[in-house]
Structure 1
Amino acid sequence: MMNIVLATDFSMNSWDMIITSLKLYAGTKCRFYLFHCYEPELRNYVGSRSTARAGVIVGSLKEVAQARLKETLADIEKVHKNANHSFDILSRQGDIIEALEEIAVEKDIDLIAMGTKGATGAKNIFMGSTAVRILRKISKVPILAVPENTEFQSLKSVIFPTEYAHNYSENTLQPLKKLLSLWPAEILLFHVAQEFTLTEKQKMNRSALKQRLEKLDYGFFKVAVKSTVARAILKFAEEKEAQMITMVKHRHTLLESFIEEPVIKKVSLNTSIPILVLQGA
């Protein structure tokens, strides 16, 4: 059984993320943890009376969070009937990174799913600050980041940008393989670069990747970076009509470039393709 966190802030983007996750993993047994994190601003509450008041505020926020989680679960149950799936609700006070890391250990989590934008996110930003922070800080659990307006129906092709800079382990690739055991999708591996001559190390990594994907349907492509890494990846995904992008998280590699580029933070990118982030060794 898979254990999956559905991290929600009750936005429409979060609802898109929930429905996409349920559809993606419809064919396997899952326990979904519908999760909300609240972080009250308590710096101004000092002294015995203020401390008591702060306690009331925190208690109230927890009650609201639990009530909204129950409402969301009721909404899910109205539209989603799947004997493979069961649900729990969780709310935590404090920093979302710390909360997710604790839950990942406590519940043996296999995947964290989230929206790319929060309830207050600006319309012209593809990925909000909380999503970027989670992608940066969470290092042991794969992450599914779902943009707003995603209308997932089926998984037919997954694009996998790489620089062949690392030898991806079997453990790193396992979440992708698990997903592809549920969907007969092809993997479109593509080298993102300005220059395509491979070093000996890159050749070895490419060969190892081929061996680890040998039982799957895959093909190799090359994509030149003409403006930014993000635009190159998203343009290729749209050209191939892919339903998912997957990237492996390592320091100083494509994912870091992808989320750090100004185009992600400031410029509108018209895409609704989910991104599966695998954790590098």
Structure 2
Amino acid sequence: MKTILIPTDFSDNAWNAICYALEFFKEETAKFYLLHTYTPVFYRMDYLIGGPAYSAIPDIKVDVSLAGLERTLKDIKKQFPNPNHSFETVSAFNTLTDEINELTDEKNIDLVVMGTKGATGAKQLFLGSNAVFVIRKAKIPVLAIPESSKFTKMENILFPTDYWSKYKIKELRSLIEIAEEYMAKITVLHVKELPENDLTDKQEQNKKHLKNCLKEVPYQFTEIQGKLMPDAILEHIEDHDFQLLAMMNKEHSFFERLLIKQNVDQIGFHVKIPFLIIRDTSEVTN
């Protein structure tokens, strides 16, 4: 049974991510944890011992959190009745990222699914700030659902790589399982930013290793030349019919270049498909 954690702030964007997740795992036995976190605008003395849950002093944020989770669960059961799915609500006096990591360990969570918002100003994160912080700190894969994205059958998955890492098969497992479940093809994309940037022997070895990791699912390898990695990824998504973007997240990787843009004009458009971000703990080879 899969265990899925879905953070919510009770917005339309968060509800869209919930709907996507319930459709995505419709045929699987799964337990969903619906999480809402809250922190006070002004700290009281009882927060030092754990907040209202310990002191029994009323706090409006606790009431809002519990009522919102109850309403969300009621809506789910009404709109998405499914005997394969079970639910548990979690209202936590904590920061979102810390609570996600604590629940990951406590509940053995397999995947985080959360909504994202597009950039709305000159200096914005195209994922939305909450998603950025979660992705940076999460110990497990995060499936980010853009606010305009609706569930469609998974047929084509884009997986960009620079071949500098020899990926661990256990960390690729979430991607492979999705491809197996939907019989989807994985397109492995390499961007050759400069004509003289041929693959090194180590990169060729890592490419061969990746092929071996993907041997149980349909896949193809493709290369784009003369463009910067982030721009090439976004353009390739725009030009082809992909239902999912999957990326490995290593600190200071090309993912971070894609993740943060100081000017919305540099992005040109927003990613409109869901994207799976997988923590990469493999060593970089030179």
TM-score, scaled to structure 1: 0.88
State the Cα distance separating 1:225 from its structure 2 match. Answer: 5.9
The CA distance in 1 between the partners of 2:222 and 2:158, in whole Å, is: 10
SS of residue in 1 equivalent to 2:9 = coil
Aligned counterpart, 1:123: 120
SS of residue in 1 equivalent to 2:252 = coil
The CA distance in 2 between the partners of 1:248 and 1:174, in whole Å, is: 12
Aligned counterpart, 1:189: 188
Aligned counterpart, 2:159: 160
Aligned pair in 2 of structure 1 residues 133, 190: CA closer, same or farther (>3 Å)?
Answer: same
Aligned counterpart, 2:148: 149
State the Cα distance separating 1:193 from its structure 2 match. Answer: 3.5
Runs of 4+ with deviation above 4 angstroms? 55-58, 263-268
Cα deviation, 1:63-91, whole Å, max 9, x if unaligned, reads 21011011111111222122211111111
Q: Is the 8 Å Cα contact of residues 119 and 270 (structure 2) preserved in structure 1? A: no
Q: Which moved more, 1:125-134 or 1:238-247?
A: 125-134
SS of residue in 1 equivalent to 2:259 = helix
Aligned counterpart, 2:217: 216
The answer for unaligned runs of 5 or more in structure 2 is 282-286
The CA distance in 2 between the partners of 1:35 and 1:28, in whole Å, is: 21
The CA distance in 1 between the partners of 2:264 and 2:224, in whole Å, is: 19
Aligned residue runs from structure 1 range 103-114, under 5 A:
103-114=103-114
Aligned pair in 2 of structure 1 residues 177, 60: CA closer, same or farther (>3 Å)?
Answer: same
TM-score, scaled to structure 2: 0.87
Cα deviation, 1:90-118, whole Å, max 9, x if unaligned, reads 1111211111111111110000111113x
Aligned pair in 2 of structure 1 residues 2, 169: CA closer, same or farther (>3 Å)?
Answer: same
Aligned pair in 2 of structure 1 residues 32, 185: CA closer, same or farther (>3 Å)?
Answer: same
SS of residue in 1 equivalent to 2:92 = strand
Cα deviation, 1:206-265, whole Å, max 9, x if unaligned, reads 000000101110001112463x54332122122221000000111222222111233569
Aligned pair in 2 of structure 1 residues 122, 214: CA closer, same or farther (>3 Å)?
Answer: closer
State the Cα distance separating 1:203 from its structure 2 match. Answer: 0.5
Aligned counterpart, 1:9: 9
State the Cα distance separating 1:122 from its structure 2 match. Answer: 5.9
SS of residue in 2 equivalent to 1:262 = coil
The CA distance in 2 between the partners of 1:11 and 1:173, in whole Å, is: 31
The answer for unaligned runs of 5 or more in structure 1 is none
Q: Is the 8 Å Cα contact of residues 97 and 137 (structure 1) preserved in structure 2? A: yes
Q: Is the 8 Å Cα contact of residues 25 and 179 (structure 1) preserved in structure 2? A: no
Aligned residue runs from structure 1 range 32-181, under 5 A:
32-43=32-43, 45=44, 59-117=59-117, 123-124=120-121, 125=124, 126-138=126-138, 140-181=139-180
**Cα root mean square deviation, aligned:** 2.6
Aligned pair in 2 of structure 1 residues 264, 28: CA closer, same or farther (>3 Å)?
Answer: farther
Aligned pair in 2 of structure 1 residues 25, 46: CA closer, same or farther (>3 Å)?
Answer: closer
Q: Is the 8 Å Cα contact of residues 244 and 273 (structure 2) preserved in structure 1? A: yes
Aligned pair in 2 of structure 1 residues 266, 163: CA closer, same or farther (>3 Å)?
Answer: closer
